[in-house]
Homo-oligomer: A and B are copies of this chain.
Amino acid sequence: MSLGDKHKYFTDPIHGLVSVPKGLVLKLVDHSYVQRLRRIRQLGLGYLVFPGSEHSRFSHAIGSMGLMQRVINSLKEKNTTITRSEHEAVLIGILLHDIGHGPFSHTLEQTLISDFHHEMMTLALMRRLNEEFDGQLSLAIDILSGQYKKQFLHQLISSQLDMDRLDYLKRDSIYSGVLEGSIGIDRIIKTMRVFQGNVVIENKGIYAIENYITARRLMYMQVYQHKTVLSADKLLQSILQRAIDLMADGQEIFIPSPALKYFIIERPTAKKGLSTRVISNYIQLDDNDLLMSIKCWEREKDPILSDLCNRFLTRRFFRTTFLKSNQTQPNISEYIQKTLIALKKLGLPANEKTVNYYLFSDSIVNEAYRYDTESIWVMEDEKTAVEFSRAADTKNITALTQSVVKPYIIHLKEVS
């Protein structure tokens, strides 16, 4: 056997060479469930605003696994006991933590399946894989779902300071070109340790944490909740909703994707869990099914569907208007009136039903950091850990724990 044969290296632009253990972990990487993530954009429609951010959930999964390797090695150097099986399980956990995501990540979750969250699908798919691989994923499932005794392993996958977030913040910041989101991963990872069973940050890491929280806030404001991204999301939801409505109404349209057709016609719910048929169709779904459909639907005779798709393909998005800080309620009826006039001018059916595809009222919530069970804890000295927003000299962070709600209207550009 070759000496270099225990790992395969993936070349990652963010973290350099990522070593993936051959065997079970590499088999999972190559599995179609994980490979499917290559066809789901990490930032949903963010690439339409930040042209560089075309990266997929797959590269994020590989990157998160790379960070997990580093933090595990660092914790071991600090004498934390992590067995070989735990090490493998936590790698699997982070690799698979996102396999339940659907097309364009979060955008269509609710439109495709009612009462659905992608975490449900992640767990369902992991259980399927566990069967396929004869129970070898049991420990990974326990860790991911928080059932395993060593809580710190769960926290490394899922908490307010996990490998998932460290990877996506850095990755999204670099790929989007928004430098304000840059964080010092190296310092955060090297100042992590396990204290009383939980992940904590050593005192010398507190400024890296402050930077991480601020960067998170700025990425939300500048990228994730960018007003054009918000409006592109609504446009995509409108397109899918219009297709659903047309089919429900008996107005047949061509749906190139069989899996998408299933969801449009059957309109499944997750209320009573996920059926085998839902799962089987879901794993066939990715960004391509939507983009393919939009290209076809641009040529459909329904003027609304056609218009919406053409807007998508030529970047004629709706406009987002945030309410002024002293305004709590938008004047919706005025917006409706103006939208009706605009629709008429555009030669589209000017009725209340159509307005639903062209006018939206919603709000964003910005929580850079929350004080809850998954908070970040820092060591004040060798014997005391304290929750971060309650540590000394963090007035600005304390200010950030108060979540800010910003209502907005999305409307036709013609509706000023």
Residues of A within 8 A of B (CB): 2-4, 6-7, 9-14, 16-17, 30-32, 35-36, 38-39, 47-48, 50-56, 58-59, 62, 77-80, 174-180, 182-184, 186-187, 190-191, 193, 202, 207-208, 210-211, 214-215, 217-218, 221-222, 256-258, 284, 286-289, 291-292, 295-296, 313-316, 325, 382, 392-393, 395-400, 402, 404, 406
A-B contact pairs, 10 of them (CB 8 A): A11-B178, A17-B186, A38-B51, A38-B54, A54-B59, A179-B183, A180-B183, A180-B184, A182-B182, A288-B292
Are B47 and A52 interface neighbours, CB within 8 A?
Answer: no
Residue of B nearest to A210 (CB): B218
What chain B residues lie within 8 Å of A314 (beta carbons)? 30-32, 35
- Shortest Cβ gap from A81 to chain B (Å): 12
- Shortest Cβ gap from A154 to chain B (Å): 21
What chain B residues lie within 8 Å of A286 (beta carbons)? 291
Instruction: Using A4-B193, A186-B16, A313-B32 as known contacts, say yes or no to A11 and B52 having CB atoms under 8 A apart.
Output: yes
What chain B residues lie within 8 Å of A77 (beta carbons)? 6-7
| Pick from B38, B325, B406: contact of A47, CB under 8 Å | B38
Are A396 and B397 interface neighbours, CB within 8 A?
Answer: yes
Instruction: Using A79-B3, A180-B207 as known contacts, say yes or no to A11 and B256 having CB atoms under 8 A apart.
Output: no
CA A176 – CA B12 in complex, angstroms?
7
| Pick from B2, B12, B325, B395: contact of A51, CB under 8 Å | B12
Are B393 and A396 interface neighbours, CB within 8 A?
Answer: no
| Pick from B3, B184, B292, B404: contact of A179, CB under 8 Å | B184
Q: Which of A32, A36, A221, A256 lies at the interface centre, i.e. has the most chain B CB atoms within 10 A of its CB? A: A256
What chain B residues lie within 8 Å of A54 (beta carbons)? 38, 54-56, 59
Are B222 and A218 interface neighbours, CB within 8 A?
Answer: no
What chain B residues lie within 8 Å of A56 (beta carbons)? 51, 54
Are A13 and B174 interface neighbours, CB within 8 A?
Answer: yes
CA A257 – CA B13 in complex, angstroms?
33
What chain B residues lie within 8 Å of A50 (beta carbons)? 11
Residue of B nearest to A48 (CB): B38
What chain B residues lie within 8 Å of A190 (beta carbons)? 9, 17
